[in-house]
Structure 1
């Protein structure tokens, strides 16, 4: 009994000194005198090692970005007090920073179980789920937060992202709209909202959102590219070309893929010479890209330089993958036909149809080519018939084919 009373008396006597020492450490940390703080912590460890000292030691090492040492301090403190929420959270953050999200989740879960009403802790748990690409669990975490506090813009943004990744696109749109209403200068959210509208191809909303973003960020390469790409994907090539050029004014290092899209837009906007110049520059970057040679050929075809067009289309075919070859042979057949190389033209057109039997209109082109150069009109007649059998009543040139069949039959009858 006397021993216990003595121990209590000693603790009571030491408490003011411990408090003073703790204040000294806090002041050193506040003044960023981290080395002095560590020396004071070690000095106190020699007499009274406490959970609080391990927490402060971890905080100092975190401030120094020595996360492994911080983690060692926190986990040692947890051996003394396993249910210390603050230590669990700090250890989880160190695990997350070090890339160990699996252990971070376990520590955050322990802390969350001990303090389930702590929304900031729930949000941290949700962020680590996002890092692990476990979007379903992250969505549940941020949904629980939203049910209790729907006013926090940052948390709403996380929920919107998780809703999008779990295919709750309408909810994602609503949340992103709410985020932008509260914080219209959040540049990244404009792009995220645009992508949610893409799900239902809501073109008016997409263009409206891009427009609002550009009012605040007129030189945003990201938003300028979003507008150009939307126009490109919807095949409005003239406006796409103009907006791609605005994008180039602010983006000084565009990707090869973007330069390709710009060149293609220019071609389909019917600026063949300008497009050719852009494709020529692409060829300097990648001399063996068959798609570049393909479009170079088409540019020369539009400019009626059929020899150069033929040469490039041949090179494109030789270096291409099967997906492109049928279309390339189709164009090659047309290019050869323009040069009145009818035999070679028919061979290329037949090859195009062989590689892609769905290209039924090619049969019509073969028929007209045979009719133009071959004195034996039977071949043309047969191809017109094959064309009509293949397309039924849906072909673009059915009426013309029927008219030519009647005419060719008449000619063959008189020839006999």
Structure 2
């Protein structure tokens, strides 16, 4: 009789627990997260520590953006069901929300060690690796995701950007093109594809991409800026000045648009019209070499020789042998030549900037990039190797590059570019792959 009563009580308890879980699950679906917590927490206090209840409470706290409490419940649930990939993914998601990136990355990696095709874990790990500029690893992840879902433009876009950052322009163009076919409404994607097409040496397909994207958003400022920039680059100043006029009428008073309008008008020899946007651009950035040069010419003709002399004096001040200012001018010149695909001149100016400011490794990276685009991989590698050797030596000496985010992030890019240059030389039959920085004698 006693056994019979115990059986009835146990059965009743299980039925009541199942009913509670059913009610809690329904409340979760309805978004009543506070109600789930109000009902579920007393159950735990009374000794109900089932994995199902812990997961329900974790989900409720996560719904209220209480990631730390959600993480605690998910981790407790995982101790009951240690092989649950769903719980591990939830833990990774909470860690990501709390900014604990390394821990989240480790969790998703553990999931993929069990199931390498797991969609959610691959997607999250891809985002983490991309944000950390681990473009080679991220490209591998996005390659897996593309195989699983060939209709998701975002995966093609991310994979394209990975190859773009790694210096594999043809692969980037291919992936960006597939992404653009799936979603031509993304202006950022359109600009990325146009940049790569322009890098390949032909402005026409780049303009076609911008034109197609503008069919969906004709007033998008980044699209208009880049369209104007392309026309400016091919010296079609009539089209470029009309586009930059349009941008300024739309309220875009950025240095980029004002300076390119002024320079476009100077290119058409419309000096009287050019001086106003050049002055406005100068008021934003008084150290820009091209703006100062053209403003000096325009002011001497439109206003007075004295006014032109004033701007020439300003230019001389910029060019004084102050390492920071002079190096910035040299680097600016190099950047101008690079945008014009004059890579030899760009290389010389970047090296001149580095000679003037040897502590700034970005000049070396830029010089290497110029030679990489010129396909002179020997000189590109020389710059990259010097960058890496100097970076590593100064790191060992205690220099904290993490304080200089631009140099810190460029470090990984340079190392990837070195590998890419090795590969390109290998296919040219010049050198075996995987060359490493030479040791000091």
What is the TM-score of this pair, normalised by structure 1?
0.69
Partner in structure 2 of residue 140 of structure 1:
140
Q: What is the alpha-carbon distance in structure 1 between the residues aligned to residue 277 and residue 12 of structure 2?
A: 84
Partner in structure 1 of residue 55 of structure 2:
55
Q: Say if 2:152 is the partner of 1:152.
A: yes
Aligned length: 323
Residues 146, 296 of structure 1: alpha-carbon distance in 2 compared, 3 angstrom cutoff: closer
Partner in structure 2 of residue 174 of structure 1:
174
- 1:252-291 deviation per Cα after TM superposition (whole angstroms, max 9, x unaligned): 2432343223222222221111211223334555678776
Q: What is the alpha-carbon distance in structure 2 between the residues aligned to residue 258 and residue 34 of structure 1?
A: 49
Q: Say if 2:74 is the partner of 1:43.
A: no
8 Å Cα contact 2:126/2:142 also seen in 1: yes
Q: More displaced, 295-304 or 123-132?
A: 295-304
Name stretches of at least 5 consecutive residues in structure 2 with no aligned partner: 331-351, 353-441
Q: More displaced, 189-198 or 232-241?
A: 232-241
Alignment of 1:58-207 (within 5 A): 58-207=58-207
How far 1:105 sits from its partner (Å)? 0.7
How far 1:221 sits from its partner (Å)? 0.9
Partner in structure 1 of residue 257 of structure 2:
258
Q: What is the alpha-carbon distance in structure 1 between the residues aligned to residue 140 and residue 289 of structure 2?
A: 48
SS at match of 1:212: helix
8 Å Cα contact 2:169/2:200 also seen in 1: no
Q: More displaced, 179-188 or 63-72?
A: 179-188
User: Taking CA–CA contacts closer than 8 Å with sequence separation of 6 or more, which of the two structures ends up with the larger relative contact order?
Assistant: 2
8 Å Cα contact 1:207/1:227 also seen in 2: yes
How far 1:143 sits from its partner (Å)? 1.4
Q: What is the alpha-carbon distance in structure 2 between the residues aligned to residue 155 and residue 201 of structure 1?
A: 26
Partner in structure 2 of residue 310 of structure 1:
309
8 Å Cα contact 2:263/2:291 also seen in 1: no
Q: What is the alpha-carbon distance in structure 2 between the residues aligned to residue 270 and residue 198 of structure 1?
A: 26
Q: What is the alpha-carbon distance in structure 2 between the residues aligned to residue 44 and residue 74 of structure 1?
A: 17
How far 1:24 sits from its partner (Å)? 0.9
Q: What is the alpha-carbon distance in structure 2 between the residues aligned to residue 87 and residue 321 of structure 1?
A: 62
Q: Say if 2:298 is the partner of 1:275.
A: no
Partner in structure 1 of residue 359 of structure 2:
none
SS at match of 1:274: helix
How far 1:190 sits from its partner (Å)? 0.9
How far 1:66 sits from its partner (Å)? 1.4
Residues 242, 109 of structure 1: alpha-carbon distance in 2 compared, 3 angstrom cutoff: same
SS at match of 1:83: coil
Alignment of 1:218-297 (within 5 A): 218-250=218-250, 252-285=251-284, 292-297=291-296
Partner in structure 2 of residue 330 of structure 1:
none
Q: More displaced, 94-103 or 312-321?
A: 312-321
How far 1:11 sits from its partner (Å)? 5.3
Give the superposed CA RMSD: 2.9
8 Å Cα contact 1:241/1:269 also seen in 2: no
How far 1:240 sits from its partner (Å)? 1.7
Partner in structure 1 of residue 22 of structure 2:
23
What is the TM-score of this pair, normalised by structure 2?
0.66
Partner in structure 1 of residue 438 of structure 2:
none
How far 1:108 sits from its partner (Å)? 0.8
Q: What is the alpha-carbon distance in structure 2 between the residues aligned to residue 113 and residue 81 of structure 1?
A: 17
Partner in structure 1 of residue 357 of structure 2:
none
Q: More displaced, 204-213 or 172-181?
A: 172-181
Residues 9, 170 of structure 1: alpha-carbon distance in 2 compared, 3 angstrom cutoff: farther
Name stretches of at least 5 consecutive residues in structure 1 with no aligned partner: 326-354, 356-416
Q: What is the alpha-carbon distance in structure 1 between the residues aligned to residue 111 and residue 95 of structure 2?
A: 14
Alignment of 1:307-386 (within 5 A): 307-321=306-320
Q: Say if 2:208 is the partner of 1:208.
A: yes
Q: What is the alpha-carbon distance in structure 2 between the residues aligned to residue 302 and residue 44 of structure 1?
A: 85
Q: What is the alpha-carbon distance in structure 2 between the residues aligned to residue 293 and residue 127 of structure 1?
A: 42
Q: What is the alpha-carbon distance in structure 2 between the residues aligned to residue 90 and residue 18 of structure 1?
A: 24
- 1:301-341 deviation per Cα after TM superposition (whole angstroms, max 9, x unaligned): 3448434323432343134456669xxxxxxxxxxxxxxxx
How far 1:293 sits from its partner (Å)? 4.8
